[in-house]
Amino acid sequence: MEILWLLLALCMITAVLGPLLWRRRGGGIQLATPGSPDAADPETYGFLRQESLDVRLPGPDQDLADVLHVVQATQEWRAAAQLLAGTPEEGEIRWQRVQAFAGAAALELGERPGVGGAWLRSWRAEAPQDPGAAEVHAEFLVQRAWRSSAVGSEDFRVLLDEARTVAGEASALAPGDPVPYLTHLAVARGLGYAPEEFDRLWAEVLDRAPAHFGAHLAALHYWSSKWHGSRELADRFATSAAARAPQGSLLAALPLFSLYDNLPEVNLTPSFYRSAAVTKAVEGAMFAVHSARQDDPTLAHVRHLLVLFLVRMERWSEAMHQFVRIDGYVGALPWTEDADPAGTYAVYRALAVAGYEANGGSPARLLG
């Protein structure tokens, strides 16, 4: 993830030394004395403590959370298989559940090399014809590649080659399911598919799920200048998808994700976040959030990215209204690109609380 503002770095240091408490003096946010009347405390808003934030999920999915608990506590895979078998192929929920199972196994393996994630290995070995097992395995390999290997290294390419093979097996087991093709999109990004090769793969996705948010997000990463294309290509893809999005679709927020993908590696100029380009992308995402169904499973993804921009723009009240709707979960961009997703999220949340209270906000005003 790009280098945080100098102010954010200061916040992280302060978080280690004590509570992250702020107040505004002379137009700038500065440290307040712990326990003072104007010290901002995120917990007064009902926010979870940093160590209680769920790094696996972008938002609430109680069935998934319950199954993850069982699987990780017992190392028994059958509950995961049953949940995916009952999750429809169409829609976004299956994609998110496959990602969550794969991410949980990847985190386990990272924490306990050679041992963690044994339930996934057993699942694949004992149920080789289960498309859910193949989908989770393919996504697991992609996540391992991006998390544990240097991009472009031999290990990186080996993992992605294996992921491509397993995704092919998954698509053969469930021909109408778009999820294996979404995983293949991430492989295409990492292995640098030529545009015409990527376009053929993208056509397969559109045949199965033309308005799939996760698919468009994966394709956008390919066109981003960070990986293969250019900012112009990424912006064109995002703008086109937003323009043809069905009414109420969160694809209208895709330009904000394009902007994030192509942020400068180092940008410490606050005026950048007040520019017309940033404002337009944020307003488009805000409109998409307000127009979407409140049970849309991808809504949390947009809210998480929105709060990063709203905090940097010092739009404290709007940021707080998003935080109260996503708090408890950090398994989404931009936090998942950081080595400490919960810690980075907590810093932004503390800044939002501080800025909100420095401008007259209070728990009663926000939650009342």
CA nearest neighbour of 112 among 65, 72, 77, 79? 72
Residues 288, 92: Cα–Cα separation, whole Å: 17
Architecture per CATH, domain 62-209, reads as Alpha Horseshoe (1.25)
Q: What is residue 38's predicted lDDT score, i.e. its pLDDT?
A: 43
Give the tokens for residue 150: 């240097």
Count of beta carbons in the 10 Å neighbourhood of residue 327: 17
Run means of pLDDT, 10 residues per run, the chain, 368 residues? 42 37 34 42 90 92 96 97 94 93 93 93 97 98 87 91 97 95 94 93 95 95 75 92 91 95 72 91 95 93 97 96 96 92 96 94 87
Q: Are 125 and 149 in contact, with CB atoms under 8 Å apart? A: no
Q: What is residue 72's predicted lDDT score, i.e. its pLDDT?
A: 94
Looking at the chain, which residues constitute the CATH 1.25.40.10 domain(s)?
62-209
Q: Token pair 């997703």 is at which residue?
A: 341
Residues 334, 332: Cα–Cα separation, whole Å: 6
Give the tokens for residue 293: 């169904």
Q: What is residue 117's predicted lDDT score, i.e. its pLDDT?
A: 94
Q: Give the Å distances, CA to CA, from 57 to 99, 184, 288, 349, 367.
A: 9, 21, 21, 18, 24
- This prediction has a pTM of 0.86
Count of beta carbons in the 10 Å neighbourhood of residue 150: 8
Tell me the three-class secondary structure of the chain, residue by residue: CCCCCHHHHHHHHHHHHCCCCEEEECCEEEECCCCCCCCCCHHHHCCCCHHHCECCCCCCCHHHHHHHHHHHHHCCCHHHHHHHHCCCCCCCHHHHHHHHHHHHHHHHHHHCCCCCCHHHHHHHHHCCCCHHHHHHHHHHHHHHHHHHCCCCCHHHHHHHHHHHHHHHHHHHHCCCCCHHHHHHHHHHHHHCCCHHHHHHHHHHHHHHCCCCHHHHHHHHHHHCCCCCCCHHHHHHHHHHHHHCCCCCCHHHHHHHHHHHHCCCCCCCCHHHHHCHHHHHHHHHHHHHHHHCCCCCCCHHHHHHHHHHHHHHCCCHHHHHHHHHHHCCECCCCCHHHCCCHHHHHHHHHHHHHHHHHHCCCCHHHHHC
Q: What is residue 15's predicted lDDT score, i.e. its pLDDT?
A: 40
